[in-house]
């Protein structure tokens, strides 16, 4: 991305380059200096155009928050903040959820990492604000404090297009827009568009390889850039947005004689994205720990004793430990410390531990035991463990915990998945019409995805509809929703229960020259009240009309809209328009009467400008009328002399006319007499 600021014209513009797409030209049209926010328009090589809006979240020398993981959580959940220059002194610096909101207390602090537990008094979604002696940083996205769990109703089936992919492992992207499926039958990964509920694209993990290498597990990088796919003796790295092949890592990851090569949780990544762990699910196999920040070099290897098989892996959300399910002679959960590579005493639990999951508060782990048809759990806070019977023949496989920490979802051999209530241990079966291998939960907790391997499909649970919000017009504004979910801002896509009533609230930025103009998009969006009977796409149009006040901020192009002049000359960068703008800024806006006149003009001129813009004859007439005004502004002395001369001529003519009339009256009197 490039950008320049022209001091003379006060125009800020530049280009954005995203290979393989053509370059996009951009220009600011609105700017609020106090809020560090800006809006503008872009155009891509004459192919498409639109508007954009953004907020400054860091400075070049101050702290910078790259991402916060997970993107949502309730009170008690752990957060990992990753970035640069994050080191803070809790005694004098501050970290808050919301600019003037809840204070957050870090547990660990380094230059690139902060971890903490969310306090009990959080309510609404907010950005994180970090203030140190070096400056202030904001999280790129709002943290969702209203995460939940899916409605238990069956939603839809998502068939996969390949002939016999045999879907196994599952992962959902950090933003919830994509679900990734590891297909062991043809060695591919499928990408599902969660909004549309259909497969978007499928890509081979190792392109061109015949026969294909089976893949069985997939995990999404918390940074949102990559996905990691485990197959026989390799890990594939793919682009998270395009599934473009990036590289492979040779590593012990085969499943040997394991039935159907199923090990859907045999790969895991730490919340800070630094460590990637892969299990080799064979007797006496190993777990390899890769350093993802150092070209995926092998940092450590754990080799199991003969008779033991490493299976599922889960990393604690506090970024300290990894839990490894080991079945066989010992039937235990090994606890690996990420900081120093040591092992804590193992937990002996269950009859054949396979898949494993950790609650968002890091207090409890849940483990599947297929031969016993049970789920075992262990509570680190109390030291208590327990067993939950799922019923004969379930043979539980994949497992996942909702981001609110209230529900545990378990895949298995029956035609239903099983949902466990964490507080009561009550088990509720949900019919998915086939045996399942793996389960994954969306970041907001509203959707669950289940792979039906033999049926070659994915099932979505939750009965959700997606609201996608866009902003256009070049102005600055925020759109929120009732009920909560949309905060656009940064959260412009959200899920809502099917049939729910949604109210969209558009708020133009008060410190810039922006106002809300209208709703557009789908027909149901026209009044901002939407019924979510299907996916919706709504557009909030914020236009640049009223110039900002002196206290609200300044801009280059933010106060450049001389509407009628722009319509007449065809561009707000035309030299004649710039002359009028300069006169407005330097003379009219410096006094009360002039400011009132400008505000009156900006309120009433846009529709006139729109009418003029489409009519060339009117544009010509208006240009002719403005020419005298612009000449007067550019050459005030000459214009003043001309004006004085015109007045003198007019006075002289008036006196001459009066004298002639007087003489005529005298003549008439003489004739009459």
154-462: what fold?
Methylamine Dehydrogenase; Chain H (2.130.10)
pLDDT: which is higher, 538 or 511: 538
Residue 230, pLDDT score: 93
Measure the CA–CA gap between 225 and 242, rounded to whole angstroms.
Answer: 10
Q: Is 340 left (phi over 0), alpha (psi -120 to 50) or beta?
A: alpha
- Per-residue pLDDT tens digits for 554-568: 333 334 456 788 778
Residue 47, pLDDT score: 64
- Per-residue pLDDT tens digits for 206-229: 776 666 788 999 999 999 999 999
pTM confidence score: 0.79
Give the three-class secondary structure for 585.
helix
- Per-residue pLDDT tens digits for 142-200: 999 999 999 877 678 999 988 889 999 999 999 999 999 999 999 999 999 998 899 99
Q: For the chain, what is the mean pLDDT?
A: 86
Look at the alpha carbons of 360, 450, 260, 278 in this order and tell me if their dihedral is positive or negative: negative
> Beta strand 464-472 with 536-544: parallel, antiparallel or unpaired?
parallel
pLDDT: which is higher, 70 or 208: 70
- 8-state DSSP, 259: G
Residue 12, pLDDT score: 80
Poorest-confidence range of 174-188, 304-318, 451-465, 574-588? 574-588
Residue 211, pLDDT score: 63
The residue-averaged pLDDT of 573-589 equals 75
- Per-residue pLDDT tens digits for 406-454: 999 999 999 999 999 999 999 999 999 999 999 999 999 999 999 999 9
- Per-residue pLDDT tens digits for 372-390: 999 999 999 999 999 999 9
Q: Are 544 and 474 in contact (CB under 8 A)?
A: yes
List the CATH code of the domain at 64-138: 2.60.40.10
SS3 string of 72-124? ECCCCCEEEEEEECCCCCCCCCEEEECCCCEECCEEEECCCEEEEECCCCCCC
The residue-averaged pLDDT of 89-109 equals 94
């Amino acid at each position: 991305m490039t950008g320049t600021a022209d001091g003379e014209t006060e125009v800020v513009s530049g280009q954005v380059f995203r290979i393989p797409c053509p370059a996009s030209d951009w220009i600011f049209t609105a700017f609020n200096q106090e809020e560090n926010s800006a809006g503008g328009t872009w155009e891509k090589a004459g192919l498409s155009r639109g508007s954009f809006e953004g907020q400054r979240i860091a400075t070049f020398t101050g702290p910078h928050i790259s991402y916060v993981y997970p993107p949502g959580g309730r009170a008690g959940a752990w957060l990992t903040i990753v970035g640069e220059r994050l080191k803070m002194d809790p005694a004098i610096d501050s970290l808050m959820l919301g600019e003037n909101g809840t204070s957050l207390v870090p547990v660990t602090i380094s230059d690139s990492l902060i971890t903490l537990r969310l306090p009990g008094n959080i309510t609404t979604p907010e950005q994180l604000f970090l203030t140190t002696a070096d400056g202030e940083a904001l999280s790129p996205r709002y943290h969702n404090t209203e995460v939940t769990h899916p409605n238990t109703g069956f939603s839809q089936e998502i068939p996969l297009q390949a002939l016999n992919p045999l879907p196994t492992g599952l992962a959902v992207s950090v933003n919830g827009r994509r679900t990734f499926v590891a297909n062991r039958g043809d060695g591919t990964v499928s990408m599902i568009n969660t909004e549309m509920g259909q497969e978007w694209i499928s890509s081979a993990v190792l392109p061109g390889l015949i026969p294909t290498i089976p893949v069985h597990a997939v995990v999404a990088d918390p940074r949102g850039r990559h996905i990691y796919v485990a197959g026989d003796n390799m890990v594939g790295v793919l682009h998270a947005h395009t599934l473009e092949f990036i590289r492979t890592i040779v590593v012990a990851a085969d499943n040997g004689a394991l039935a159907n090569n199923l090990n859907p949780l045999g790969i895991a990544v730490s919340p800070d994205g630094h460590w990637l762990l892969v299990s080799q699910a064979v007797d006496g196999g190993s777990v390899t720990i890769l350093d993802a920040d150092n070209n995926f070099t092998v940092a450590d290897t754990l080799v199991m004793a003969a008779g033991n098989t490493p299976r599922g892996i889960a990393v604690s959300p506090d970024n300290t430990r990894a839990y490894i399910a080991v079945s066989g002679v010992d039937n235990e959960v090994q606890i690996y410390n990420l900081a120093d590579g040591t092992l804590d005493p193992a937990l002996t639990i269950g009859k054949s531990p396979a898949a494993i999951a950790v609650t968002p508060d890091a207090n409890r782990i849940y483990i599947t035991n297929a031969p016993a048809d049970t789920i075992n759990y262990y509570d680190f806070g109390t030291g208590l463990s327990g067993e939950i019977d799922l019923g004969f023949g379930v043979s539980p496989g994949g497992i996942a915990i909702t981001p609110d920490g209230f529900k545990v979802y378990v895949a298995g051999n029956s035609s239903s998945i099983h949902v466990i209530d964490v507080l009561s241990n009550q088990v509720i079966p949900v019919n998915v019409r086939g045996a399942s291998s793996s389960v994954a939960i969306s970041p907001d907790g509203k959707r669950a995805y289940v792979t039906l391997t033999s049926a070659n499909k994915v099932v979505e649970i939750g009965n959700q509809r997606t609201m996608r919000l866009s902003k256009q017009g070049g102005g600055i504004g925020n759109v929120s929703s009732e009920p909560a979910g949309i905060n656009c801002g940064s959260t412009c896509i959200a899920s809502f229960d099917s049939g729910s009533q949604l109210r969209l609230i558009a708020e133009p930025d008060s410190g810039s020259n922006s106002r809300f103009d209208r709703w557009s998009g789908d027909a149901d969006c026209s009044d901002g009240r939407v019924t979510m009977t299907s996916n919706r796409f709504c557009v909030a149009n914020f236009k640049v009309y009223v110039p900002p006040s002196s206290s609200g901020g300044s801009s280059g192009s933010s106060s450049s809209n001389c509407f009628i002049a722009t319509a007449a000359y065809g561009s707000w960068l035309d030299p004649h328009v710039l002359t009028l703008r300069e006169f407005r800024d330097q003379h009219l806006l410096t006094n009360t009467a002039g400011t009132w006149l400008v505000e009156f003009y900006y309120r009433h001129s846009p529709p006139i400008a729109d009418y003029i813009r489409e009519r060339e004859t009117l544009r010509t007439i208006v240009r002719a009328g403005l020419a005298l005004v612009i000449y007067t502004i550019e050459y005030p002395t000459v214009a003043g002399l001309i004006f004085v001369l015109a007045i003198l001529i007019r006075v002289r003519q008036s006196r001459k006319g009066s004298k002639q009339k007087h003489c005529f009256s005298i003549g008439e009197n003489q004739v009459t007499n």
